[in-house]
Structure 1
Amino acid sequence: MRAFSSAVHIAAAVSLVFFAACKGGGDGGDGGHCSSESEACNYYHECPNNQDCVSGCCQPSVRCLQDSVCKPGGACLANPGSGCLTLAECNPVTECGKLVPCVEGVCREDLSLDLPCNNTCTTDTECPTGTHCRVDGSEGKCVMDGLCTAKAECATLPHADCVGEWKCLDGRCDYCERRCVKLCLHDTDCPAEASCISGLCEKYPADVLAALTAPAVDHDFTEKKPLRVGIADVPLSFPVGVSMAGYGARVGPKTPYSDTLGGSDSMWDRPRVKAFVFDNGQKRIAIVKLPIGWSDDFLASHIAWRIHQATQANYLDRLILSAPHSHSHPGRFWNVLREKKIGVFGHGDFNFEMFGRHTQAAADAVLAAIADLRPAKVSWGLNPAMDPEHKIHRDRRGGDFNPMDDSLVLIRIDDLDGHPRGLLVNFALHGTHLDGTTVSQDAPGGVEVIAQQNLQELTGYPVKVAFISGASGDVSPAGDDSPLGSDDWGKIQEVGAQAWPKIRALFESLEGKGVSDVALDMGVRRVPVGREELGYGPGVFRDEQGNDYEYGAFSCVGMEDDDPNTKYQDGALGCIFSADALSGGRPVRQFVMARFSIARIGNLGIVSIPGEPLGKYARGLCQEFMNAGIEYATTFGYSQDHHFYLMDADSWLQGGYEPSMQIWGWAEADYYASKMKEMFAPFLAQGGTVDNANLKPSWFAWINDTVTPTVTPAADAGKIVQDTAAAMERFGMVRLRWIGGHPGVDLPRMTLEKKAGDAFEPVKNRAGEIYSDDGHTTMTWYRGNYQDDHTWEISWEEGVSFAPGTYRIRIEGRYQDPQGVKPYTTFSGPIEVTASSRLWVNAPTLDNTNVSATVFYPPAPTNDDGHSAFSELRATGFLRHNGLVPAHLPWPVPVDGSVKARVTIQPPSGDAVVLTDLPIDSSVNADVSYVSSRSSTGEESRRTVALPASAFSAAHGAYRGAGTYQVTVEVQDAFGNHGTASKSITLE
């Protein structure tokens, strides 16, 4: 039931607590106060059976049936993981023994298995199926096949979970007792060498902790020097087949790399990691754009650990990790409630292989950027209102009456001669156009790819561009109401095309303004999150029955209210269920702590916000930074950590989709804001500091869940299955199929080569960058079955001005051989690329005085090949050619005079009249008829639509009286694309 109130009490701030697997724990109490009858302890596994570690002492277990017996600060747990944990030791029964099971390749003494009762034996034949007789001295017992001895390695051995009280039932020992377990909430509740994981204290790897809490890489940098910047560009490593993050219940193929969400089957605009390392002799800061849905503290920790392994330096608190947030980026990287399989909510079930691929790519990018450090100049610019017409992005949340953030910020990096090297593009944008089975950077990638391509052609330098998301929480990409209709591929590129002029203007305004004497600094803070920290007292943030949401709640305030005078009321928040219901009554590591950072590059401040900030919230934080003394401050969203949508309390209580995705209610985001605001003035006055509040970098024990790639026979690797067509006109498409490797080792890379003399050479742009599949002209599919068929396919298409010539596609990939992973290279046959001959000349008209026609470029590739049956005309290509009509329809040529017409009129008698160089110079609307479907018998249906068109009209002087005139119109653009139409017209 929904309730509103014009005056709602707003408490301070909030967060959430989930559950992840762990082994045991205590509260870190002082064992020195234990009685003589009890032993000191730090962890549950240090106590004898039937005892628990409570307040640092081994104490008799308190048996329970429900959580209420264990309150406050505890939970009634029996089976929090896969089997019975030591903290829920199976109740000893004379007939029952304890086995050491094998779980994920490791012998786990802390897990127990059931086995037959009265299981004494002398030979294997006396034991049940699946067990054998093990004789120890004079006594023999039936033990399970595959049982391993303590501390030994083993193969995976299935075992049964047990719940309740363990008894001998039907000849088998099963069930476990439930007992009260005191839960930790934060790392500060645990011993110094432990962290709190899902309510239990778990030892932190000593080497990792030492590395990630060591002084920062620049702790001994003392002398300020001229700026150096290193830039790196590394492809993201992922297997086609992986689930993508962003949409709940996403449909897709079932693959070895998918789980509760459907998988992917293709890749477009190959996602790439971009790293920018700034060093002024006193500070070193790395900004990393990692092309995934959001950042996370565990991701940052693992990236820093990988960098430390390579450099022996701690970059954790000098790393700004930001995600551009496409809803079609690879998922399965977020380690939240891994055992509960809640990836169906939108992020995909956590997988260490995917996580490790992402962190390795990010670390590789930072290391490459460090190696690239060289003298540089930096400048920044601001356009406070980049898109007043909403052609790039739009406000998607009108109910809270707060405008979106429409600002554009650029950070430009030049060499000492003023030549551009890199550009960070920062504004609010969501990547939500695609929802299918293709991995893509979506709209943020459209901005990044098009800006990078255009800057390289404009300047002749290999400029690297990274899109950094801003206050994107209340923003959608423009295009849903555009003339492009359902062409999401075109909409993505349209966003980039519309953003490019704004980016170019601001970029060019920074010419010559770069400086090398630059202040750099960074401050980092971790804060605990919970009811106490958020200011929720008893009875505040509660359900309809008056029960407090102890660890948060899901899907609250889901209905958006458009009346600013009414708000949701506590106790009637409409939450679907509490976080406890999903987490098994235990806190979740990721949401009992938040991490954020602030930084400066010269007089530009950067506020890294751990989630999806709404415009008003982000601008308010940046304004506080500016009030403290920085000239301007901008937002890096989806950075450092992730706590869903972030907005002030008033906006949260207005309800709607965005607040419904939070866990901790109205006070959460304001709590983070208050903690960030506390940083600004000291940061500018004394410099950046690291304040972890004795909270540790997030870390989880690694589990090897890597998919084993299947073998491709060496003789097959690179074999062409279906070659390209021998010729392609502009606006056309060719496809190539070949045998490659398993997606676990192969993500084939396409480059293009052009024939020069007798040899083929790589195609390069003006900046010397090789033409590849990083852009929008190719689509790559995996057509295999992940077992014995590893067929791949790629399509390639090009646009209006692509240079004619003989080309071939080069494919480089890897395949699994019995001896390891090996490379392969293969080529398409020659492809003769020519200008298009398919320009449409529509409806030539002739009267006694004038001749006219409308002219179009042809549609992009479609499913109409001229003879095959199809039920509805649709585009089959992916490259945007225009922003005015859907891709399956013709589109107007330029009206700037660059397209010319030649008209030949043959009168009923006499010589023909020829008109030349007639400019196509006017924009009109014209009716166009096209084949909309074709049956299997060849019967065609046609449809007529009004489309924007380009036209010419000219006096002809060819009238020779009544009769039939033959009119031929030939058109050609500045790139040699051409078309012809003829028509017989009768004049009176």
Structure 2
Amino acid sequence: MKQQLSWVGALAALALVGCPDPTAETSASDASTTSNPTTGTASTTEAPTTEVAPTTTTSAGTTANTTEEIDPLPQGPIQAGVAVGYLTGPVGASMAGYGGRTITNSTPWNHLLNGAGGFYGMGTIKAMVIEVGGERLVVMKMPTMSSEHSLTEGTIEKLKSEHGIDITGRLITAATHSHHNLARYWRLPAPLGFVGCDSPDEELIDRMTTAMANVIAAAVADLGPAQWGVAWQEDWDAGDEVYRDRRGENNPTYGKDPRLTLLAVRRPDGTPMATVINFGMHGTVFDSPNELFTEDAAGGLEMKFEEAFFAAKGQPIFGMFAQSGGGDASPAGDGQGHPEPARIERIGHAAAPKIIDLYDAIEWRDEATLGVRSRRIDLTYSGIGYDDYPEFQNSQGGPYLWGGWQCKGDPADVDDNNPATSMEGKPKNCMPMGTLLESLGESLPNGEVHQTYLTVARLDDFYMLTLPGEPTASVIQYARTGYEDRAVDGMVFGYSQDHLLYLTQPDDWLQGGYESEMSLWGPLLAKYLVDGQMKVIESLIAGDGSPVWSEESPALSVGKPWEPRALEKSADAPSVTSEPPPTIGRGETLRVAWDGGEPSLGEPRVVVQVDDGGGFVDVPSPSGWAGAALDNSRYHMLTHYAPVPEPNGKLLAERQQNWYVDWQVPADMPAGTYRLRITGNAYDGQTEAYALETAAFEVGFAAEHELTAVLAGGDLTIDVVRPPPAYDLMETWPIAGFRLLDPEVAAADPVHVRVPLTLSFVENGQPVGDTYEVPYVPGAGHVFDFAATGLDATGLSARVHLQADVVPAFLEVEIVAP
């Protein structure tokens, strides 16, 4: 017990499992289907016995011994399907990524780390299914801190049991590495959860895998004739507008991974479907005090790309961010001083045109050769290669037989601030994983440390390999060299299938620093994994008939039976408790509150509706997704749960289930009459859906808006601006000024309206002349050929409103002729 307590004390002193805080990181230089997680029934999953022979699933879906041959790789026309769903709640669960989050919100869903109090956008699950000759590859982007085999294999099992779809060995997961989405899916010993993942919770795992399986099933239902293509670009973010290198210990040998890779599918008529956006970037714009679920940098990137794509092409697309070498790359977007919520949008604004340009360069193919190979491998000291490379030993020369953690080296030998120093040939001073696990009552080997899940996929001469953790740029560079040596191209999915913390090349690991400390298997693991994946690639190049799925040993870490949590009744019937103001200006923030249902019933949806003259209708989402509305599912609103009494870690018989949203009106929101429509579920002995509408309110210019109209050389330059709204916080969450209203200016500068205007003229209070449409031209603004009007500017006023206004709201100012 003393030994165990000493380990727990050591763990409590550690900061994070995933990442250092943002300050430390930046110190070195038709989508038609949605789903929500619902309360699951009790699981009765039992651990497989060791007598079960390793099995695999063939392309026909039958079970085979791992030595059995299967048909050659299929080749022919492709079909593809895509879908999106949501994974955010329940609000109150803890968030993975940052360790040591002090508990200020204790709920029935968190344990060791703080429970979330709301959400800023819902995390999206996006699936891309590619099928050739009956064989399938599924790429699933998920908004979590990491992948884990509990999610990868759990989703596969859910698809079998609930949808009758078998994709065993054919799924590639891509976690975005947000530090602000659901935790408790990593089946580590509970005390280890303090450092960033919280203790495992089987009900949450069940909810997560149910939601993921639903999205993949929807993508399978969307299968139809398609084309596919890839493109990549080096040094696409040379100015560090999107992401930057964060690891100084390996300078100047390694910087950030400079490549952007796209894997896209579309319909044969050119209709876009989805693109994987593959590069490396941590999800750590928001710091650890944040209490709101959010996808962080990846969510802002995807949203702004999708909105920009729809604005440019008039057709929607799914953007699926997939990590590559994110282990040593921090998010940027901070060059203009915007606060955290606006900064994630700034990242997307900077990236979107570059991604669109690369998408336009894709050469599309109608056919493909498709192959997928997945396997579970055992991780052992000798198998990784340390018998021949004695660089992972303790100070007495003994091996870290079961792995080692927190390898710091001797400060007298290794200076993390001096890349010229190295741990090579010197004591590593690691925490032995075997001792740690046994002190926590775990048997050895342990499935979370001594096994891992890997996948390789082939589309013609383009290959994809997965890595189970946080690869740094050195690992991605090594993998790309492996592709080049085999005369093929490809991409690397980091944070995929499983999680083994940080992965670095040997020379990189030996430089020490955080990324070395947060590694479990020393300098050789990443190289060992990539070398193994390259052997699988060689077999796929040869077109052999190896099994789609194989395992060296059955899973050592499996789910346990669980009972679903009870539901809390709503003390009050659903109703709006705080109405919006009767008028609100662009850039201002309104709040609406209501009594709803408890969080485990699903996240309430709040939709903006406008009176179009025939009644209230949903305002379409800026992404253009079919049937999607402007609502609180993306970064347009902030949603908070404020129950009475406050959470105390226990389920009550009933509670006031209070919610509110803050909506900051965009700078270019068309003027008109609006309301918010709120839908969700509440429980009063039985679960029932509710729908509420707020009172109507008017949107127009704020009192702070100013219009200038300057005439020079026959051109009239018009500018509509307002001061930037103040960024306001309540405790740790933003409540006003959180949107990126104008991406072209610094946070402290005036916000400009950058959409088409309708212009007319007034003289002595009376309209004169015609009405004109004035487009916005990037770099020039609103410039109008006044000379063509034939009017005399003396004593004349310009009068404008947004061209898109439903009910025009005007600004008027006298023309200035310097």
TM bucket, shorter chain: 0.7 to 0.9
The answer (yes or no) to whether the contact 2:587–2:737 under 8 Å persists in 1 is no
What are the residue-to-residue correspondences of 1:739-758 with 2, within 5 Å? 739-758=595-614
* Equivalent position SS for 2:677: strand
Q: 1:344-385: CA deviations, max 9, x gaps? A: 201122111211111111111111111111111112221222
Q: Residues 767 and 883 from structure 1, CA distance in 2 versus in 1: closer, same or farther, beyond 3 angstroms? A: closer
1:728 aligns with 2:584: yes
The answer (yes or no) to whether the contact 2:231–2:261 under 8 Å persists in 1 is yes
The answer (yes or no) to whether the contact 2:88–2:182 under 8 Å persists in 1 is no
Q: 1:888-909: CA deviations, max 9, x gaps? A: 6533566x9979999999xxxx
Residue 432 of structure 1 is aligned with which of 284, 292, 313?
284
1:417 aligns with 2:281: no
1:876 aligns with 2:770: no
Task: Tell me the distance in 1 between the aligned counterparts of 2:730 and 2:455.
Answer: 55
* Equivalent position SS for 2:587: coil
Q: 1:495-516: CA deviations, max 9, x gaps? A: 0000110011112233xx4322
Task: Tell me the distance in 2 between the aligned counterparts of 1:238 and 1:264.
Answer: 9
Aligned to 1:383: 233
The answer (yes or no) to whether the contact 1:326–1:432 under 8 Å persists in 2 is yes
Aligned to 2:616: 760
Task: Tell me the distance in 1 between the aligned counterparts of 2:702 and 2:496.
Answer: 46
The answer (yes or no) to whether the contact 1:707–1:744 under 8 Å persists in 2 is no
The answer (yes or no) to whether the contact 1:648–1:669 under 8 Å persists in 2 is yes
The answer (yes or no) to whether the contact 2:639–2:661 under 8 Å persists in 1 is yes
Q: Which moved more, 1:777-786 or 1:548-557?
A: 548-557
Q: Residues 979 and 483 from structure 1, CA distance in 2 versus in 1: closer, same or farther, beyond 3 angstroms? A: farther
The answer (yes or no) to whether the contact 2:165–2:217 under 8 Å persists in 1 is no
Task: Tell me the distance in 1 between the aligned counterparts of 2:460 and 2:56.
Answer: 27
Q: Residues 797 and 336 from structure 1, CA distance in 2 versus in 1: closer, same or farther, beyond 3 angstroms? A: same
Q: Which structure has the larger Rg over C-alpha atoms?
A: 1
| 1:469 positional shift | 1.5
| 1:811 positional shift | 1.2
Task: Tell me the distance in 2 between the aligned counterparts of 1:756 and 1:362.
Answer: 36
Q: 1:821-874: CA deviations, max 9, x gaps? A: 2211111111222244532479x99xxxxxx9996722454379xxxx999xx9
Aligned to 2:385: 535
Aligned to 2:404: 553
CA RMSD of aligned residues (A): 4.4
* Equivalent position SS for 1:273: strand
Q: Which moved more, 1:528-537 or 1:734-743?
A: 528-537
* Equivalent position SS for 1:681: helix
| 1:275 positional shift | 1.0
Residue 483 of structure 1 is aligned with which of 311, 329, 336?
336
Aligned to 2:95: 244
| 1:260 positional shift | 1.2
Q: Residues 605 and 431 from structure 1, CA distance in 2 versus in 1: closer, same or farther, beyond 3 angstroms? A: same
Counterpart code for 1:876: A
Q: 1:26-83: CA deviations, max 9, x gaps? A: xxxxxxxxxxxxxxxxxxxxxxxxxxxxxxxxxxxxxxx999xxxxxxxxx9xx9xxx
Aligned to 1:777: 636
Task: Tell me the distance in 1 between the aligned counterparts of 2:688 and 2:775.
Answer: 55
Residue 525 of structure 1 is aligned with which of 375, 381, 391?
375
Counterpart code for 2:656: D
Q: Residues 517 and 858 from structure 1, CA distance in 2 versus in 1: closer, same or farther, beyond 3 angstroms? A: same
Aligned to 1:260: 112
The answer (yes or no) to whether the contact 1:292–1:329 under 8 Å persists in 2 is yes
* Equivalent position SS for 2:601: coil
Q: 1:643-664: CA deviations, max 9, x gaps? A: 1111111000001111110022
What are the residue-to-residue correspondences of 1:462-861 with 2, within 5 Å? 462-480=316-334, 482-485=335-338, 487-510=339-362, 513-537=363-387, 541-557=392-408, 561=416, 563-575=418-430, 580-584=435-439, 586-587=443-444, 588-630=446-488, 632-687=489-544, 689-690=547-548, 692-697=550-555, 699-704=557-562, 706-713=564-571, 716-764=572-620, 768-771=626-629, 772-784=631-643, 785-786=646-647, 787=652, 788-818=655-685, 820-840=686-706, 857-861=721-725
Counterpart code for 1:857: V
**Greater RCO, CA 8 A, separation 6+:** 2
| 1:272 positional shift | 1.5
Q: Residues 261 and 886 from structure 1, CA distance in 2 versus in 1: closer, same or farther, beyond 3 angstroms? A: farther
The answer (yes or no) to whether the contact 2:724–2:747 under 8 Å persists in 1 is yes
Task: Tell me the distance in 1 between the aligned counterparts of 2:357 and 2:607.
Answer: 31
Task: Tell me the distance in 1 between the aligned counterparts of 2:2 and 2:578.
Answer: 64
| 1:921 positional shift | 12
Q: Residues 883 and 853 from structure 1, CA distance in 2 versus in 1: closer, same or farther, beyond 3 angstroms? A: same
| 1:529 positional shift | 1.0
Q: Residues 808 and 856 from structure 1, CA distance in 2 versus in 1: closer, same or farther, beyond 3 angstroms? A: closer
| 1:752 positional shift | 2.4
Residue 891 of structure 1 is aligned with which of 751, 754, 757?
751
Q: Residues 881 and 727 from structure 1, CA distance in 2 versus in 1: closer, same or farther, beyond 3 angstroms? A: same
Aligned to 1:204: 48
TM-score by length of 1: 0.67
What are the residue-to-residue correspondences of 1:90-239 with 2, within 5 Å? 204=48, 213-216=56-59, 224-236=75-87, 238-239=89-90
The answer (yes or no) to whether the contact 1:217–1:315 under 8 Å persists in 2 is no
The answer (yes or no) to whether the contact 2:379–2:450 under 8 Å persists in 1 is yes
Counterpart code for 2:698: E
Q: Residues 829 and 286 from structure 1, CA distance in 2 versus in 1: closer, same or farther, beyond 3 angstroms? A: same
1:276 aligns with 2:140: no
Task: Tell me the distance in 2 between the aligned counterparts of 1:308 and 1:922.
Answer: 53
Task: Tell me the distance in 2 between the aligned counterparts of 1:254 and 1:404.
Answer: 38
* Equivalent position SS for 1:245: strand
Counterpart code for 2:640: W
Task: Tell me the distance in 2 between the aligned counterparts of 1:764 and 1:445.
Answer: 19
The answer (yes or no) to whether the contact 1:212–1:697 under 8 Å persists in 2 is no
| 1:398 positional shift | 2.9
| 1:560 positional shift | 5.8
Task: Tell me the distance in 1 between the aligned counterparts of 2:206 and 2:494.
Answer: 23
TM-score by length of 2: 0.79
Aligned to 1:365: 215
The answer (yes or no) to whether the contact 1:718–1:740 under 8 Å persists in 2 is yes
* Equivalent position SS for 2:309: helix
The answer (yes or no) to whether the contact 2:55–2:551 under 8 Å persists in 1 is no
Q: 1:610-637: CA deviations, max 9, x gaps? A: 111111211321331232232x211111
Q: Residues 697 and 283 from structure 1, CA distance in 2 versus in 1: closer, same or farther, beyond 3 angstroms? A: farther
Task: Tell me the distance in 2 between the aligned counterparts of 1:853 and 1:369.
Answer: 49
Aligned to 1:49: none
Q: Residues 897 and 456 from structure 1, CA distance in 2 versus in 1: closer, same or farther, beyond 3 angstroms? A: closer
| 1:458 positional shift | 3.4
The answer (yes or no) to whether the contact 1:863–1:870 under 8 Å persists in 2 is no
Task: Tell me the distance in 2 between the aligned counterparts of 1:827 and 1:899.
Answer: 32
- The gaps in structure 1 that reach 5 residues or longer are 1-64, 68-76, 81-194, 196-201, 846-851, 906-915, 925-948, 955-965, 984-988
Task: Tell me the distance in 2 between the aligned counterparts of 1:329 and 1:241.
Answer: 11
Segments of 4+ in structure 1 off by > 6 A?
209-212, 219-223, 852-856, 896-905, 919-924, 949-952, 966-978, 980-983
The answer (yes or no) to whether the contact 2:452–2:468 under 8 Å persists in 1 is yes
Aligned to 1:123: none
Aligned to 2:249: 399
Residue 316 of structure 1 is aligned with which of 154, 165, 168?
168
Counterpart code for 2:506: A
* Equivalenced residues, count: 734
Q: 1:535-585: CA deviations, max 9, x gaps? A: 334975233355543322222138763545431145532436655135427
Q: Residues 382 and 863 from structure 1, CA distance in 2 versus in 1: closer, same or farther, beyond 3 angstroms? A: closer
The answer (yes or no) to whether the contact 1:732–1:860 under 8 Å persists in 2 is no
